[in-house]
Structure 1
Amino acid sequence: MTVITQDQPTYVVSPVTGVDRAALAAAVEVAEPGALLAALVHLTGDTTLVDEFKVKLDAHRAGWSGGYPEDVADEVRARARQLLGDSLVPRIEVPDDELFRRIAEVCVNDTVDAEFVPHLREQAGFEPARRVVPTTRRPRQDFTVAIIGSGMIGLNAAIKLGEAGFRYHVFEERDDLGGTWSRNTYPGAAVDTPSHFYSYSFELNPSWSKYYPTGPEYLEYLRGVARKYDLQRHISFSTKVLGCVWDERDQSWTLTVRGQDGAVRSHRANAVVTATGVLNTASIPEVPGAQTFRGEMMHTAQWRPEVDLTGKKVVVLGAGCTSVQVVASIVDRVEALHVVARQPHWVIPESAVYSDVPEGMTWALANIPYFHQWFRLKSYWWAADKNWAVARIDEEWYATHVSASPANDAVMQVCLDHLDRSFADRPDLKEKLTPDFPPFAKRIVKDPGFFEAVKRDHVTVHRASFREILPDGVVTTEGDFIEADVIIWATGFKLEYLSFLEVVGRDGLKLADAWADQDPRAYLGITIPGFPNFFVTAGPNAAPNHGGGHNITSEEHVHYVVECLQYLVENDLTAMEPTREATDDYNRRVDEALDKTVWQHGGSANGYYRNKNGRAWVTCPWRLVDYWTMLRAPVPEDHVFTPTLEGDLL
C-alpha cells in the first residue's frame, strides 16, 4: 500500500544521518546508475565527476532509454561504495542552470539543451512551479472557485488554488475521489506510464511497489495526497453538477448541482475549473440481440467483482490497453477465452510493466538525497519529448512505407520484432495482431503478458467485431459463432468534451453550440471566447499523445489557471476570456502542426484520436517543453478583461 507520509513537499530534501550501511550497500547494487551518479555530485560536491563520466559515456554508443554500459555502471557503483558513508548530507543543493544541465546529460546519457532546464527542474521535483504573475496581493475573501471533479487534476487544482490563497470547493459526482482510478477496477487495471513520474512533481512517492503502478495502488496514492492536504473537507461527494450559467451582472457563475439526497441546489462561484477528463462514459456498441443474452455482460469501467469468471467461457471485445490488461489477468481462470478485435494496436515489449521495484531501489529513492528527483527526470526524459519526432510524417518516406518516417519506423521495428519473437510458431496470430497503420496513429500498448496469453490453447483471437448477440453467445462479423457465459466490453469510453454539462456563457451562448459538430476549440486548450473565468482542463488538443503523461499537462493547466486568477487579483479585474482572434489564430497553428502528424494522417487507424469528421481533436501538437512554456502566464493582449467596480473592492 502506498502512503504519503512526509510533512513537507518532496523538493525539500533533508540530510540523512545514521545510515544503515547494509541497506545502503544493497541499494547501491540495484540503484539506477545515472541517477546514482547525479546524486553523488550533490553529496560530494565534486563536479569533476560530471566531466569524468561524460567522457566514459561518450566512448560508448548510448543505449535505449539512456542505459549505461555495464562497465560504466559498475564503476559508478564502485565510486558510490567508496564515497558514501554514515551520513548523506548534500554539499550541493539545487545547482545553477548550467551545472544542472551538465548533470542531467550524464544522468540521462543524452544531450540536454538549455531550453529544457526550467521544465525539468519543476517536473523532476527539484523545485515548485515558479510563479510568473506578481503575487503582491491576496485574493478577495468572497472570490471563490468551483472545481468539478476530484481525480488527478481536481485534487491538483485544489492544492494549488489553496496554496495561492483562493477559496475553492470541489464537486464530485461519485462517492470517492480518484477519477479514472476509482472507476476502473477491472482485473489487471494499471497505469501504462512509469510510476515514478506519473505522480505530482511536488509529491514524489518512493514507495511504489512496481515500476508501473496498478490501479488500486495509484488510487491509494491519490487518497494519501488528499489526506496530507486535508482536501476531503472541501469536497462534496455524490454531488453532480448539472449546469453552469454566467451571470453578467454579478460577474459570477451559478452552478446547479444535485446532491446525494436528490435535492437540486445552486452554488455561486467567480471561476469554474472543469476537472472531469474526457473519457468518462463507457462506450458500449449497440449490437442486435444484446437483450437476449442469458449470461453476464459488463464493461471494464463498470466491473462487477461478484461475477466469477472461473471456468467460464469469456468473450472480450477490444484490443486496446484495457483489453490486453484484462486478458493477461484472467487467462488462467477461464475455461475458454475469445479476443475479438476489428483492429489491433501496435504492442511494444516492456518488462518493467509487470516488474516489482527491488527493496534496495525503494531504499535509495527514500534515503539518498536527490536520487529520486534524478531518477524521475531520467524516466520522464526518455518517455516524453524524445518521442516527439516519432509521430511526425516524412512525406517521401510515408509514400512507400507503413511507417511514417525513419524515427517512426524505428518504433515499428521494435514492435515487429516483438511479434516475430512472440509468434515464431504461430503465423496465424502474427497476421491477426499486426496493424496496417503507423505507430502512434493509435495509442501504443505496452505488453503486460498479452502476447503470451493469446498463445494459450484455450484462447482464440478473432480479427472481427460483433454482428449479433444470441442467448448463448455471439456471432462475429466474419460469421463465426462463439459460445459465451460472459461478455466483457473492453471498448473504451465515449470521448466527451463537456457534452454532458449544460454551460451557458456570456449573452446566453451555449458551450454545446460553440463546440457543435464534434469540433471543440479552445485557446491553449483551456479557455473559450464567451465563457469568462471558465477553465477547461484536459481540453481539446491538449493531450500529450507522443509521450509524457496526463499528469504533466494537468500540472501545466493548473499552473496556468492560478496565474490567470492571480492576474485578475493584481490588476483589479473580475473576469477574463480569450479573444476570438487569439483563439482562432492558436487553433490555426494547431491544425497546421497536426497536419504533419500521424494523428491527423494515420492511414487506416480508427479510434478516438480523430472526430467524426477526421480531425485530430485530442492531441496537442507541441513538444511538452513548448506547451509548458506557453502556459507559464496569460498573455494580456490575447484577452478581454472586465474591471472590478470600485465599490466591489475589499
Structure 2
Amino acid sequence: MTVEHLPTIEQLPKTEFIDYARPMKVIVIGAGISGILAAIRFPQRIPNLDLVVYDKNPEVGGTWFENRYPGVACDVPAHVYQASFEPNPNWSQFYASGQEILEYWKGIAEKYDVRRYMKLSHKVVEAKFNEKESKWHVAVENCRTQEVLHDTCDVLYACIGALNDWKWPEIPGLADFKGKLLHSAVWDNDWRPDNLSVAVIGSGSSAIQIVPAIQRRVKHLDNYVRGQTWIAPPWAADEVRKHTSSGSNFKFTPEELKEFNAQPEKLLDYRKKLESEVQSMSKILLRGELAEKTAATFTEHMKSKLSNKPEILDKIKPSFAPGCRRITPGPGYLEALAEDNVSFVSDPISRITEEGIITTDGTHRKVDAIVCATGFDTSFSQRFPIRGRGGLDLGARWQDYPDTYISLSTNGAPNLFFAHGPSSGIGVGSLVIILERTCDYVSKMISKMQADRIAMVEPKQDACDAFREYCGSYFRKTVFSLPCRSWYKRGTEDGPVTALWPGSSLHFLKVLEKPRFEDYEYTYLGGNDMAWIGNGFTLSEVDSKIDKASYLDPEEIDYPAV
C-alpha cells in the first residue's frame, strides 16, 4: 500500500482509539437494594453501557418486597439503613417497618428513573459462560407467560443476596396439618390471627418480630424454640434518646421530624453519631473479656424483660457469647413471651398432626394455624444453575464451601461478580454502605475491562485459596466459631463460617476502596495483551467537541504547596 492510499486519522475506526470505551452489556440479577444501586451507579460511571436488571418479583425491593409478615422491620436503626446519598429525615420510628423501607427504596428507584433498565416478573433460571464468545448466556423465564427468553452479556452481576431461598422445615407430618400453614417468607396477607390458637416455630429474627406483632390479637400463642438466642438492648439507645422525647418506643414526634427536615446539618450529625456507635460494636465479636461483659449486659436486659416468667430465661439464654448467632434487639419479643396467653415451648417437635404439634415429651398442642419462621437455604448453591468455564457447576462446587475472592467473585467463573454473596455479611455495622461500595468496586472492574480491552477477568485460584485461609484464621478468634447453630455457618453448629465478612464492616469498606488488579488473571480481546494501547491517537484528535488541552483545567492540576 502506498502512502497516498493510507487512511487518514479521520478514517480510522473509533474503536481503535486509546480512550474509546468499548460497549459493554451488563445483566444484573435482582432488583433489591444492590440491584437498585447498580441501576443508578453503572450508567453514571460506565459509558457505552447496555444494562438490564431482571427480577422474579413484580416490584422492586427484594427482601423488603418479599417479607410481608406482621411486625417485619429493620433490626438496626432506620437512619443507619439507608443510602449515603439519599438521607431520609422522615423515618417514623427508630426501627423502620418493612413497608416503610420498601417505600423508601421504591422512591429512590422513581427519583433516579432506574425502572427503565428493569424487567420485573422475569426470573433467571440458568446462566452459562461461553468461552469462545467471552459472554454469559442467560435463560430468563417470564413469570406471567412462562415463556423463556435468552439474553447474553459481557458481565453478570448477581444481586440475589443471602436470605432469599426460603424453605419449609423438615418436620414429619407438616403436609398433614389441616389448619392454616404459613411461612414468614411467603406471607398470606389475607390471613387474620384474631382469636385463634397459633404456633410460631422459630426464634430467629422473623419469629422475634412476628410473636409480639400478633400476640395481642391471638387467643393463645405457642412459640416453639429449638435453639437459644440473645436479645440485645436497642442499638444506640442513648443517642436516639437525645433526639426524641417519645421514650422507650423510639418514635419521632412530628415536631422532631420537622426539625430534621429544616436542619440537614442536624440530621447529618444524628446519622453520623448513630453510624459511629453501630460501627464501634465490632470489638464485642472477638472472644475474651469484652464478649463476657457483653453477655452479662444482655443477660440483665433479658432478665428484666422476663420478670413475669423468669423460668424462660434459663431456656432461651445461650451458653455461647453474643454474636455467634445474629444479634437482634427484638423490641417487644421478651415482653410478649411473658404474657399469659403465650407458651414458650423448648421441647423438640416430634411431629405435626392434622390438628397441631406433638413434642418429644408426648404433649399434643392443638392449634388453628402454624407459622414457620424457619429461615432460608443459606448454602449459596440452590438458586439456579450457574456454569462457568468448561461447564463448571458452581452450585456443586460450592456444596462443601462457597469459595470466593473477597466475597465478590470466584475462579472458574469469568466476568461474574456478586453483591452480598458468600463471606459478605456483617455481624454488626452498616450493611447499605457495604452494598454501595461493592457496586463501586464492580464499576471499577467493568471500567478496566473497557479501557484495557479485556475479554475475560477472574480472580486467580491462589487469591481465592488465600482468602479462604484468611477467613479460617480470622474466625477462629471470634465468637462466630463457637458451637452454635447459625445461618452464618449454613445451619451447622461447628462448620466453617461462610456468610460473614472476616473483619469489621469498616475493614470491609477499606478492602473495597481500591481493587487489587494484580489478584486477577486476564484474557484480552483477540489475544492481544497490548490491545489497550489503541492506534496511537486519542478521540480528541478527531472530535472537535473534545477538549485537547483539558489537562490545563484547574481541577486537573495538582498544585504544589508554596
Alignment TM-score, normalising by the size of structure 2: 0.85
User: 2:277 aligned with 1:382, yes or no?
Assistant: yes
Provide the C-alpha distance between the structure 1 equivalents of 2:227 and 2:65, rounded to a whole number of angstroms.
Answer: 28
One-letter amino acid of the counterpart of residue 291, structure 1: A
- Which of 160, 182, 200 aligns to 1:276? It is 160
Deviations 1:453-484 (A, max 9, x none): 11111111011332111111111233321110
Q: Alpha-carbon deviation of 1:426? A: 2.6
Tell whether the 8 Å contact from 1:599 to 1:619 is kept in structure 2 after alignment. Answer: no
In structure 1, the gaps of 5 or more residues are 1-135, 394-404
The aligned runs of 1:431-450 (5 Å cut-off) are 431-450=314-333
Secondary structure of the residue aligned to 2:78 is coil
Q: Alpha-carbon deviation of 1:354? A: 4.0
Provide the C-alpha distance between the structure 1 equivalents of 2:316 and 2:441, rounded to a whole number of angstroms.
Answer: 42
One-letter amino acid of the counterpart of residue 370, structure 1: E
- Which of 242, 249, 254 aligns to 1:359? It is 254
Q: Alpha-carbon deviation of 1:137? A: 4.7
Aligned to 1:456: 339
- Which of 461, 467, 487 aligns to 1:608? It is 487
Provide the C-alpha distance between the structure 2 equivalents of 1:469 and 1:451, rounded to a whole number of angstroms.
Answer: 26
One-letter amino acid of the counterpart of residue 283, structure 2: A
Secondary structure of the residue aligned to 2:331 is coil
Tell whether the 8 Å contact from 1:320 to 1:344 is kept in structure 2 after alignment. Answer: no
- Which of 263, 287, 291 aligns to 1:368? It is 263
The aligned runs of 1:130-145 (5 Å cut-off) are 137=19, 139-141=21-23, 143-145=24-26
Aligned to 2:80: 197
Q: Alpha-carbon deviation of 1:550? A: 2.6
Tell whether the 8 Å contact from 1:543 to 1:553 is kept in structure 2 after alignment. Answer: no
Bigger drift between 352-361 and 146-155 goes to: 352-361
Q: Alpha-carbon deviation of 1:368? A: 1.5
- Which of 493, 501, 514 aligns to 2:397? It is 514
One-letter amino acid of the counterpart of residue 608, structure 1: W
Secondary structure of the residue aligned to 2:294 is helix
Secondary structure of the residue aligned to 1:640 is strand
Deviations 1:203-226 (A, max 9, x none): 111111111110000000010000
- Which of 48, 59, 63 aligns to 1:180? It is 63
Provide the C-alpha distance between the structure 1 equivalents of 2:175 and 2:397, rounded to a whole number of angstroms.
Answer: 37
Aligned to 1:575: 456
Tell whether the 8 Å contact from 1:527 to 1:534 is kept in structure 2 after alignment. Answer: yes
Aligned to 2:200: 316
Tell whether the 8 Å contact from 1:278 to 1:498 is kept in structure 2 after alignment. Answer: no
**Structure 1 pair 211/137, CA: closer, same or farther in 2 (3 Å)?**
farther
**Structure 1 pair 281/508, CA: closer, same or farther in 2 (3 Å)?**
closer
**Structure 1 pair 364/644, CA: closer, same or farther in 2 (3 Å)?**
farther
User: 2:171 aligned with 1:290, yes or no?
Assistant: no
User: 2:360 aligned with 1:477, yes or no?
Assistant: yes
Deviations 1:285-335 (A, max 9, x none): 122222222210101111112222111000111112111211111111111
One-letter amino acid of the counterpart of residue 69, structure 2: Y
Aligned to 2:244: none
Aligned to 1:391: 285
- Which of 226, 232, 235 aligns to 1:342? It is 226
The aligned runs of 1:325-340 (5 Å cut-off) are 325-340=209-224
Provide the C-alpha distance between the structure 2 equivalents of 1:521 and 1:573, rounded to a whole number of angstroms.
Answer: 24
User: 2:479 aligned with 1:585, yes or no?
Assistant: no
Alignment TM-score, normalising by the size of structure 1: 0.74
In structure 2, the gaps of 5 or more residues are 1-17, 241-247, 540-562
**Structure 1 pair 256/543, CA: closer, same or farther in 2 (3 Å)?**
same
One-letter amino acid of the counterpart of residue 586, structure 1: F
One-letter amino acid of the counterpart of residue 320, structure 1: G
Tell whether the 8 Å contact from 1:537 to 1:557 is kept in structure 2 after alignment. Answer: yes
Q: Alpha-carbon deviation of 1:242? A: 1.1
Secondary structure of the residue aligned to 1:493 is coil
Bigger drift between 609-618 and 550-559 goes to: 609-618
Tell whether the 8 Å contact from 1:279 to 1:496 is kept in structure 2 after alignment. Answer: no
Provide the C-alpha distance between the structure 2 equivalents of 1:138 and 1:626, rounded to a whole number of angstroms.
Answer: 35
Tell whether the 8 Å contact from 1:544 to 1:553 is kept in structure 2 after alignment. Answer: no
Tell whether the 8 Å contact from 1:610 to 1:616 is kept in structure 2 after alignment. Answer: yes
**Structure 1 pair 551/138, CA: closer, same or farther in 2 (3 Å)?**
farther
One-letter amino acid of the counterpart of residue 22, structure 2: R
Provide the C-alpha distance between the structure 1 equivalents of 2:381 and 2:431, rounded to a whole number of angstroms.
Answer: 18
Secondary structure of the residue aligned to 2:386 is strand
Secondary structure of the residue aligned to 2:57 is coil
Tell whether the 8 Å contact from 1:564 to 1:633 is kept in structure 2 after alignment. Answer: no
Provide the C-alpha distance between the structure 1 equivalents of 2:203 and 2:479, rounded to a whole number of angstroms.
Answer: 20
**Structure 1 pair 627/322, CA: closer, same or farther in 2 (3 Å)?**
same
One-letter amino acid of the counterpart of residue 212, structure 2: A
Provide the C-alpha distance between the structure 2 equivalents of 1:236 and 1:276, rounded to a whole number of angstroms.
Answer: 15
Secondary structure of the residue aligned to 2:479 is coil
**Structure 1 pair 146/370, CA: closer, same or farther in 2 (3 Å)?**
same
- Which of 390, 406, 409 aligns to 1:524? It is 406
Q: Alpha-carbon deviation of 1:356? A: 1.3
Provide the C-alpha distance between the structure 1 equivalents of 2:324 and 2:379, rounded to a whole number of angstroms.
Answer: 20
Q: Alpha-carbon deviation of 1:173? A: 0.7
TM-align CA RMSD: 2.0
Secondary structure of the residue aligned to 1:298 is strand
Secondary structure of the residue aligned to 2:51 is strand
Q: Report how many residues are paired.
A: 498
Aligned to 2:33: 152
Provide the C-alpha distance between the structure 2 equivalents of 1:369 and 1:294, rounded to a whole number of angstroms.
Answer: 55
